[in-house]
Structure 1
């Protein structure tokens, strides 16, 4: 049985204001969400971590493979009118959020599509809720706010105006980020950068590294 709800994704309309995106609540839900959260890898630090640096197993491993599979890719291609068959994918995992995270950004030009899957059961905090923004200067000028819980999926087409960010939050905030990127060189460069950031945090756990987070 699949862990993800492809039919719910296909039934969700693409929004175009202020840029191309859509949100699917409960993309992973119920017993499937419970299993994925139970197998979520232990992460003690903040920041984005490549799966290769984590203990990936069980339902969490199955989830990554389904997201990297042809059915999910086809559904995304249909939604955005793109051919992604020749584009590589890149995954990172986040387990914790620092107060410095969430600054407004668009994602780098090397990314084509950004996928965010939130794996928190509940979310009571005001901070940490991702906002789809109309500008790069006003966090309150939002088209939509997405709570990072309940297996919610957010997907958007990266552009020069794909602004997003969130109010400060510090604490556990589990998420998978997946991107289709332009070429393999992007994957190698970004994975190397994330590993280097991890090393800095291990060497100086109290110093902090300024970061943007989705």
Structure 2
């Protein structure tokens, strides 16, 4: 039987913030007994960019984390927190293992996404940069209402809105995370996965030529 490694009660009990857009965070979203093993078994992704979870090899206990995400209980929490209906929407999961200097720029998520959940899987975070900021606008990285350190099991979830501005001060180096998106349609999911897969193939091709 699959073991649930996510502390669903912590997600359930996390207070919902509504300014500047709906979001909530949980500093320790994974049970302590599993967190180190999950970090250790995070797929090796030395390049920048996002990788479809279906395109990488998953080992335990990281695989159990992915299975714990795609459950009715997890979906219910997102529905109730953000007053959205995601029980039957397609889910897309992507992984990032390395941050480039150009990453983290201020942006909002695509309108094909209903909600975004980020889970960070780094043993610790000592750098001053690389911390995700919940921003008031799309032009000032220093005008933020919250800052999330990408430590072991930190989770941030937000409803995708026209003003869901976020980003982080430039950081280059290992920065492991899972991004979960509930998408408006299967067609949107296929489009996102296609471009992530194409990007991964191009990066591997360039790497071989070096």
TM-score band, normalised by the shorter chain? over 0.9
Task: Give how far 1:32 is off.
Answer: 1.1
Equivalent residue number for residue 57 of structure 1: 59
Q: Kindly indicate whether the alpha-carbon contact (under 8 Å) linking 1:114 and 1:180 is maintained by their aligned counterparts in 2.
A: yes
Query: Are positions 1:169 and 2:180 aligned together?
Result: no
Cα pair 1:42 1:55 within 8 Å, conserved? no
> What is the 5 A alignment of 1:36-185?
36-185=38-187
Unaligned runs of 5+ in 2: none
Equivalent position of 2:9 in the other structure: 7
Task: Decide whether the 8 Å contact of 1:111 with 1:181 is kept in 2.
Answer: yes
Contact 1:29 1:150 in 2 (8 A): no
Which whole-Å CA distance do the structure 1 matches of 2:42 and 2:177 have between them?
10
C-alpha separation between the residues in 2 aligned to 1:17 and 1:179?
A: 21
**How far did 1:66 drift?**
0.8
SS of equivalent to 2:102: coil
8 Å CA contact 1:110–1:182 kept in 2: the answer is: yes
The answer as to whether partners of 1:136 and 1:163 remain within 8 angstroms in 2 is yes
Question: SS at the partner of 1:41?
Answer: coil
Superposed displacement of residue 199, structure 1? 1.9
- The CA deviation string for residues 123-144 of structure 1, in whole angstroms up to 9 with x for no partner, is 0001110000000000000010
Residue 86 of structure 1, CA deviation: 2.1
Q: How many residues align?
A: 207
What per-residue deviation string (whole Å, max 9, x for no partner) do you get for residues 155-196 of structure 1? 000011000000011111010000000011111111110111
The Cα RMSD (Å) is 1.4
TM-score by length of 2: 0.95
After TM superposition, what 4+ stretches of structure 1 lie above 6 angstroms from structure 2? none
Distance in 2, Cα, partners of 1:199 & 1:36 = 26
1:8 Cα deviation after fit? 0.8
- Cα drift, residue 2 of structure 1: 2.4
